Amino acid sequence: MKVPLRILQGFLEEDTPFGDLTSETLAQGIQCVAGIITHEEGIIAGVEEATDLFSSLDLAVRPQVQDGTWSPPETRVLEIAGEAAKILLAERTVLNVMGRMSGIATMTRRLVDTVHAINPQCRIASTRKTAPGLRFLDKKAVMLGGGESHRFTLSDMILIKDNHLAFVPLEEAITRAKAQGPYRVIEVEVTTPLMAEEAVRLGAHVIMLDNMRPVEVAETLTLLENEGIRKMVIVEISGGITEENIQDYAVQAVDVISMGNLTHSVRSLNMSLEILDRE
Amino acid sequence: MKVPLRILQGFLEEDTPFGDLTSETLAQGIQCVAGIITHEEGIIAGVEEATDLFSSLDLAVRPQVQDGTWSPPETRVLEIAGEAAKILLAERTVLNVMGRMSGIATMTRRLVDTVHAINPQCRIASTRKTAPGLRFLDKKAVMLGGGESHRFTLSDMILIKDNHLAFVPLEEAITRAKAQGPYRVIEVEVTTPLMAEEAVRLGAHVIMLDNMRPVEVAETLTLLENEGIRKMVIVEISGGITEENIQDYAVQAVDVISMGNLTHSVRSLNMSLEILDRE
Amino acid sequence: MKVPLRILQGFLEEDTPFGDLTSETLAQGIQCVAGIITHEEGIIAGVEEATDLFSSLDLAVRPQVQDGTWSPPETRVLEIAGEAAKILLAERTVLNVMGRMSGIATMTRRLVDTVHAINPQCRIASTRKTAPGLRFLDKKAVMLGGGESHRFTLSDMILIKDNHLAFVPLEEAITRAKAQGPYRVIEVEVTTPLMAEEAVRLGAHVIMLDNMRPVEVAETLTLLENEGIRKMVIVEISGGITEENIQDYAVQAVDVISMGNLTHSVRSLNMSLEILDRE
Amino acid sequence: MKVPLRILQGFLEEDTPFGDLTSETLAQGIQCVAGIITHEEGIIAGVEEATDLFSSLDLAVRPQVQDGTWSPPETRVLEIAGEAAKILLAERTVLNVMGRMSGIATMTRRLVDTVHAINPQCRIASTRKTAPGLRFLDKKAVMLGGGESHRFTLSDMILIKDNHLAFVPLEEAITRAKAQGPYRVIEVEVTTPLMAEEAVRLGAHVIMLDNMRPVEVAETLTLLENEGIRKMVIVEISGGITEENIQDYAVQAVDVISMGNLTHSVRSLNMSLEILDRE
Amino acid sequence: MKVPLRILQGFLEEDTPFGDLTSETLAQGIQCVAGIITHEEGIIAGVEEATDLFSSLDLAVRPQVQDGTWSPPETRVLEIAGEAAKILLAERTVLNVMGRMSGIATMTRRLVDTVHAINPQCRIASTRKTAPGLRFLDKKAVMLGGGESHRFTLSDMILIKDNHLAFVPLEEAITRAKAQGPYRVIEVEVTTPLMAEEAVRLGAHVIMLDNMRPVEVAETLTLLENEGIRKMVIVEISGGITEENIQDYAVQAVDVISMGNLTHSVRSLNMSLEILDRE
Amino acid sequence: MKVPLRILQGFLEEDTPFGDLTSETLAQGIQCVAGIITHEEGIIAGVEEATDLFSSLDLAVRPQVQDGTWSPPETRVLEIAGEAAKILLAERTVLNVMGRMSGIATMTRRLVDTVHAINPQCRIASTRKTAPGLRFLDKKAVMLGGGESHRFTLSDMILIKDNHLAFVPLEEAITRAKAQGPYRVIEVEVTTPLMAEEAVRLGAHVIMLDNMRPVEVAETLTLLENEGIRKMVIVEISGGITEENIQDYAVQAVDVISMGNLTHSVRSLNMSLEILDRE
């Protein structure tokens, strides 16, 4: 899963509609070696994208760390050699890509680790609540952090939500969804244990327990177990789950915890580009 | 400053490469009224973009709140009327735009208010550390929150940073920058009081005190005052300033505090689309 | 599922890089009413696209037939009123879109009807063998004809084919696929009854019997029935199925017949644009 | 005439909006050699496009057959070496391009051969009835098959059709067309021998006998001969000509036979990508 | 021949990557009427483009002058009503389009008039020496001025120039060109009377006398007349013809004078946008 | 400041929508060396763009002259080696780019030299009156000629013009502009000496004396000197300044002379591509 170079070059053009006034004035014709250095620990992501973008400017790139690996602070993740003005031209664009992707990957990994310590089968999934236009980067970063992409888009699978059930009763909705054929997973958002049971009986592949407190999740799982239908379905929980309360949810025997804040409320990983050597 | 419709439609196409499997199955041909409702207080941003995108789908849009205004939780910021399948098609795209923009605007306003309570002349500025591809949206949101856009791109103004001074001494750098003509502001990143003084004497329009602790900022300002050159320059501080420590900086008589985290570490404002009425 | 207007306008620009030399010379400023008329029976598709494109040229469009309906020859499917030069500008582009889409929809419907007469539960599916760049149009046309879209793209679901099994044994392949999470259907291409059985036991959601003769299909189904695992899987057949031999396959108790020729070997439905009235 | 790489990459992006879930899971990091193999005889086309697209993914490509040459079934037309995941990523896109182009070239060549056996001076031409958005590919394929491109677009030449003559009488139409200057060929669609004669006398460079039966074509040619004006014009016939009846037309002394079905009703040439060797 | 709105909006986006800092600060929310006023006489062109662009910003546009008409200085060619900030946003983009197009149209008309006063049959043609990316606008402007478009692109017709004849002798070149079929005009660039004669005898449709002095043109025409082949060909002259010496060429009995400077050395027509009324 | 290759390739595609009919027929498979040769003296610009475009076609490019250097007539500025058909494909596109850029650079240099002979401190600046879509090329060419870019776009700086002052009085306008923050230069267009004085006192960084005669310029400068505020502001003059009268303005002690005709009324530098050698 590789971001098309065209997209990365578009990011660069956004930052340089008429070139880089400063570096063209001060750094043209100078050869140097630079490094991208982290300033906090985290999962590194975006090395592939950085490599592609710097390479397209005729710079030599030497990745020092692979995408998806944990790095301590002050790690040199990438070295770039070539004309200083070109390196500085792309500096901020690359850091914005890598910082965001690494921030997403790092938070994902932290949550995955937290949850797996309690419940090794449970997965962490992202949602479609990404930055607009950055779906590809955001989903890739989640996966590099060990998370699940869930739906990429509205065209991937069927997810029946409250806003659909405002128009069509649950049974009819699932019937119509199934009539679309066997190639799409069908998920239903449910709000009560009984609704969960109904959705499973109607053949949903996945049920999403929406905004339930841990006790309600437990109650729902118990009902499904008691009815002997727990194994027929994937149980996902979503809504209101944060880094603070995720442990309360992880103790539940759910299959997936999905979280919009993995991608809609990102903290970039702190890193910078530094000149290492001037030729 | 209005995001071109082409860009917004691109966001929608990203989410619907082959349409919306669920809503086409369940909500086609149904007329309804929906609302975008906030679930926490904040500054609303993105109403103009939401209006343009929904309108392009032949939906009737009635904004209830103007961009840039503070709203309590559970405010209905926008009403949309028309075919349910079209409303749901754009729901997530619009929420992703509005959530991010409102999140940025809200954090900006909170910091502006904090700083102004202490130092009413001091401005809050964003940087180029935006999400890649979303510079326009992010900068607009900062401005709606009462912040300063600072540089949009590398083509706007000249900002001489440590990575430039690695190649060219300060005096030569400023001389060359000035030779580019009078239409661009020249800013210099400085790390010590003496370097600040030098930059001012050489004619920098703005100096950015980079990663200084409050005491160093104070020391620098005192030096400039004592030398009688404080009024000749705009003093910006940047680096390491957070919501937690911003008050320590705001007490300093600086002109601008610039913060990358306004745009690189955004928390989306919580809002959702709800079906209000079915015709 | 609506083709973005941007795409349709791109088709028009392809045909008119420097305008329409003939109609600008002969039909400018003349008001008329024109009709799109079929010259053979078939399922009409592309009315929505034709309407959008003509409308974008400020022409009045009155669809006479809905997408997806069967029409006898010499049906007037659409009326357009406005400046003759504009109607003629878009004539060929619209006919190329509608002719192709209607041709696909018609062939799909004919095959669906043939199969359903024998086996009402069996579905007809298209593949990714569409015209390059026309995936959206081609898949939409299949669906209007009553067929199944199957995968839209390589990002939708997992389909393990011979070219993958050249590198990874079946069991490991399915295990790795399942480790990607629960949101994607997993299909495996199989070439023998025993391989089919193995894939089902390993948990494939769909098996595709590749290039089997009817007797081999029967043998495979019998094996699955005998082993009591037929109901655990969707059975798709693909490869070498044509309009001529499809009945031999339809008598088998398979769930889906998928056919590349629905979209890679299209015969356009014959239709033309005629001037109905000059104002 | 080379399809811009940008276009080919767009075809690939259409098929991989979020990467190739299967090959990324099963074929990453594996080096192999693959071949594109035909399964029926035909004229090969699209080798240049396949080479450009595979090369852009850093794969080594070795064409074995030149575009435009006839190949027996089971010919290896192209070899590709490199990472398996990248080869499989582009497999379907390349096959869709080559299959369509080769299908068009093959049918064109077959018709050219049929016609030339009877009438070696007569040319086969395509029309603007191509797949929308694929004009370039389709026209190039026709030419590789030995056919004539005819008009590329509405901006190339002037073709006065019945829909224009609905507004302007023939004489005025040709007069106005000639007033557009000497750089465009002027063709007129005619439906009777007398109209053909009139168009020639008025100075049309080409006349297209539209939907005439062979006997009517003969009658028209005789009239032109008798009037001594046959040599003043190119005679093209079009409409209702198929592979079945083309011989009846080829015996006529016409200059060009143009056929929409060369490009609007294409049967892809059957070919596939196979793994030849694993390193 | 209408410039796609997408292109015009691209021109506007080029000028406003982050909005219009000045007018957003000073002219938002103010309603006004503005006019585009010429400051010298000339042929007006670009009214259609201006209308389309202003209209796309929800402004009311009232053209006062039709494209292609002569206007005295201080003519109000267009009125626009609506929000001042929107009018001023597009002001410069529209003036740049109209100024260039009107400049081209005006110079073309002046030359056409000069030539027609001497030789009413002789046409003035532009070449492919347009501004890169502005071929459409430039050619349209020439035609509005009464000139001929000549080739739009390298795909329109065949023009055999010295750089081709460096590789292939004239006879072979024309033979190969004719083998491309009857739908393209074939023009040959010639440098001597004898070469002109040869090209005509070989069947060139147009000959371009390249960089000949008037006396050489006369000599060539005489030779063709004497050989009785003048009527078989269109004679175009090109190279070194300017506003100053065009009369010396116009007295020659040539069919077309083509001039690169019509489009490569344009003087914009002087016009400006003025606020007429504030509501 | 480097034009993105994507843009240059777009220029080439504009000229070759369906390839180059002539060179594909006559120059395919032939290796040669060609040169771009000037036919008049001037400043060369566009070498970087020519190099990038030819290189992208797999041609070997050897620049002989650097962008921005003065060249006598008949200079070989660039050599290209490779397939003749590819060189000829891009010939006109490259010449259109280089001819325009060199024409702009040459006129700029001539004016800079004229002005500097009189007033070595005075700068020559371009405006936003560029060809639409060619802002980047035009501004780069001006800078290569020794001129000043001035504003690139409406987003760079604030320029308060008469059309703004129609709505807001000068004092309020400057106050509002200053409230936008310290990162943008503020310029005001003034029409009288008193208005100039007022703008300076209100804090404009630059004043543009609009359409003043030399005597009025002198009067304004004298007033500013007498009031002791001349040094507080950059003085730019604009409007009505031409190559003919620029000396009358250059004698004035102004800082910048800005001229729209540098970019809106360009005369291309005469150059051509010639075949130097055939391998």
3-class DSSP string for chain D: CCCCHHHHHHHHHHHCECECHHHHHHCCCCEEEEEEEECCCEECCCHHHHHHHHHHCCCEEEECCCCCCEECCCCEEEEEEEEHHHHHHHHHHHHHHHHHHHHHHHHHHHHHHHHHHHCCCCEEECCCCCCCCCHHHHHHHHHHCCCECCCCCCCCCEEECHHHHCCCCHHHHHHHHHCCCCCCCEEEEECCHHHHHHHHHCCCCEEEEECCCHHHHHHHHHHHHHCCCHHHCEEEEECCCCCCCHHHHHCCCCCEEECCHHHHCCCCCCEEEEEEEEC
pLDDT score of C113: 98
Give me the residues of chain C with pLDDT under 70, please.
none
> Whole-angstrom Cα distance, residue A67 to residue A70?
9
Find tokens 């870019």 and name the residue.
Answer: F149
The vertex-C197 CA angle with C183 and C210, nearest 5°, equals: 80
Q: Which of A6, A9, A18 has the CB atom closest to F1's CB atom?
A: A18
The reply to whether F249 and F270 lie within a common domain is no
User: What is the reported pLDDT for D207?
Assistant: 98
Task: Tell me which residues of chain F have a pLDDT lower than 50.
Answer: none
F235 close to F69: Cβ distance less than 8 angstroms: no
**Catalytic-labelled residue, pool C161, C213, C267, C278:** C161
The whole domain housing F260 covers 112-264
Give the SS3 label for residue A99.
helix
Distance in angstroms (rounded) separating the CA atoms of residues A261 and C73: 56
Residues of chain A below pLDDT 50: none
Q: Tell me, yes or no, whether A233 and A158 share the same domain.
A: yes
A6: chain D residues, CB-CB within 8 Å:
6, 9
Chain E residues in contact with F161 (beta carbon < 8 A): 22
Q: How far is D11 from chain A (nearest CA, A)?
A: 12
Contacts of C13 in chain E (CB under 8 A): 4
- The number of distinct structural domains making up chain A is 2
* Chain C residue with the nearest C-alpha to that of B85: C1
CA separation for the pair E6, B6 (Å, rounded) = 9
Q: Are residues C231 and C196 in the same domain?
A: yes
Rg of chain D over CA atoms, in angstroms? Answer: 23
Specify the 3-state DSSP secondary structure of E139.
helix
pLDDT tens digit string along B232-266? 999 999 999 999 999 999 999 999 999 999 999 99
What whole-number distance in Å separates Cα of residue B211 and Cα of residue B196?
Answer: 13
pLDDT of residue B2: 85
Tokens at residue B203, please?
């004619």
Contact A110, A102 (CB under 8 A): no
pLDDT of residue C1: 83
Give E97's contacts in chain F (Cβ within 8 Å): 132
Let me know whether F104 and F166 are in one domain.
no
Neighbours of chain F (3+ CB pairs under 8 A): A, B, D, E
CATH code of the domain covering residue E153: 3.20.20.70
- Residue located via tokens 């206007």: E71
Query: Could D265 and C268 be called an inter-chain contact, meaning their C-beta atoms sit closer than 8 Å?
Result: yes
Q: For residue D52, indicate whether it is catalytic.
A: no
Residues B101 and B126 in one domain: no
Which stretches of chain F sit within 8 Å of chain D by CB?
A: 6, 9, 13, 17-19, 24
**Nearest-by-Cβ selection for C123 from A181, A184, A185:** A181
β-strand pairing of D76-83 with D31-38? antiparallel
B161 catalytic residue (yes or no): yes
Q: Are residues E259 and E125 in the same domain?
A: yes
CA atoms of F48 and F136, how far apart (whole Å)? 13
* A234 & A126 share domain: yes
Q: How far is B274 from chain A (nearest CA, A)?
A: 7
Instruction: Check whether residue E134 and residue E211 sit in a common domain.
Output: yes
C92 belongs to the catalytic site: yes
Residue D279: predicted pLDDT: 72
Residue C16: closest C-alpha in chain E: E1
Residues E117 and E191 in one domain: yes
The interface pTM score, or ipTM, of the predicted complex is: 0.96
Please say whether the beta carbons of B191 and B197 come within 8 A. no
Tokens for E193, please give them.
């009377």
CB atoms under 10 Å from CB of D161, counted, come to 18
Parallel, antiparallel, or unpaired: how do β-strands D76-83 and D60-63 relate? antiparallel
Is the domain of E120 the same as that of E252? yes
C contact test, residue of A142, A151, A183, A185 with most C CBs within 10 A: A183
Exposure string over C106-115, b if 16+ CB within 10 A, otherwise e = bbbbbbbeeb
Residues D138 and D94 in one domain: no
Q: Which residues of chain B have pLDDT under 50?
A: none
Q: Identify from B9, B22, B100 which residue to disrupt to test chain A contact, counting A C-beta atoms within 10 A and taking the largest count.
A: B22
Partner-chain residue, chosen from C2, C6, C152, that has the shortest CB–CB distance to B17 = C152
Stretches in chain D below the pLDDT threshold 50: none
Phi, psi of E189, deg, nearest 5: -85, 125
| Residue D96: CATH number of its domain | 3.90.1170.20
Closest CA to E106 of E77, E152, E75, E147: E147
Rounded Cα gap, residues A27 and D11, in angstroms: 39
Alpha helix stretches (DSSP H) within B66-213: 84-118, 135-144, 162-165, 170-178, 193-201
Q: Is-catalytic flag, F210?
A: yes
Q: Which chains lie within 8 Å of chain D at 3 or more CB pairs, if any?
A: A, C, E, F
pLDDT tens sequence for chain E (279 residues): 889 999 999 999 999 999 999 999 999 999 999 999 999 999 999 999 999 999 999 999 999 999 999 999 999 999 999 999 999 999 999 999 999 999 999 999 999 999 999 999 999 999 999 999 999 999 999 999 999 999 999 999 999 999 999 999 999 999 999 999 999 999 999 999 999 999 999 999 999 999 999 999 999 999 999 999 999 999 999 999 999 999 999 999 999 999 999 999 999 999 999 999 987
Query: In this structure, are A96 and A186 located in the same domain?
Result: no
**What pLDDT, in 10s, does the model give residues F193-235?**
999 999 999 999 999 999 999 999 999 999 999 999 999 999 9
Residue of E47, E132, E37 lying closest to E94 (CA atoms): E47
Are the CB atoms for A162 and B26 separated by under 8 Å? no
Q: Residue written as tokens 């575009």?
A: D67
| Chain B interface test: which of A22, A86, A96, A161 (most B C-beta within 10 Å) | A22
